Homo-oligomer: A and B are copies of this chain.
Amino acid sequence: MVDAPAGSRAAGSVQSVDRSLDLLEALAQEEKPVGVAELVELTGLPQGTVHRLLQSLNQRGYVRRDASRKYSLGASAVRLADAAQRSLARSARPHLAELVELSGETANLAVLEGDDVVYVAQVPSPHTLRMFAEVGRHVPPHSTAVGKVLLAGMPRERALAVLRRTGLAPRTPSTITDLDEFATELDLVVVQGWAADEEEQEAGVRCVAVPVGAPGAVVAALSLSGPADRFAGGRTDGLVAQMQRVARAFADA
């Protein structure tokens, strides 16, 4: 087999399925409808193949073809997404509860939805003083620990593309607003395997997050968050190890 420069296929996977997912993800990336030729560019697949796979996806409503023969994601994708959120939330709950037990702070599970971070499950801290973030809330990726983890887990070029679209709006005085500086922060997250949010999203709130899934295939992030004075930096080291253990258990393998 010759090696494909972009879009090489993982062992033991079905070619046409893999390629269809490539197409869906390419479409998700673009914010406007995309023609076949451009998808050929983006995925490196032959024209005929792109066209045929799109037909399959179109028939099932996962992509839409508009009057100008350009394609975008379709309604069926929406249906799947919601079901996926529910089942993720359900299976995460016991793991989040374990983290709350260990730390006394609020635990969250977050995933990327388009360019936003969205919290899909939460187990709140037993403390009366607990912090923010309802389930379903969308937050920008650059000012949160979970966002950093999720961005660090994707190819750098893609992460930068997300940040270019969302921008790095200041949420607090601590928010990182410089792209280069943020890229350095991502490097740090990659090597240490976890991320912190030092009151960058909400004044007085500190947050620590770890990735779920193999490096390079990060699908979600687990976080603990609490008031900055109670949830101090000194406790971080031990907790991160525990969080990583729970993340592995959740992702299993």
Contact = CB atoms under 8 A, between A and B. Distances in A.
Interface residues of A, number: 63
A98 to B, nearest CB: 14
Given A115-B82, A116-B82, A73 B88 contact: yes
Nearest to A87: B72
A80 interface: yes
A61 B213 contact: yes
A213 B84 CA distance: 24
A76 B14 contact: no
Interface stretch (A48-56, A126-134, A176-184, A193-201): A48-56
Contacts of A12: 52, 55-56, 59
Interface of A: 10, 12-14, 16-18, 20-21, 24-25, 27-29, 31-33, 52-53, 55-57, 59-62, 64-67, 72-88, 90-91, 111-116, 118, 120, 212-213, 217, 219-220, 252
27 contacts: A12-B52, A12-B55, A14-B20, A14-B56, A16-B16, A17-B17, A17-B56, A17-B57, A28-B84, A29-B83, A31-B90, A33-B87, A59-B217, A60-B217, A67-B252, A72-B84, A72-B88, A73-B80, A73-B88, A75-B112, A76-B219, A77-B77, A77-B80, A77-B83, A78-B111, A81-B114, A86-B114
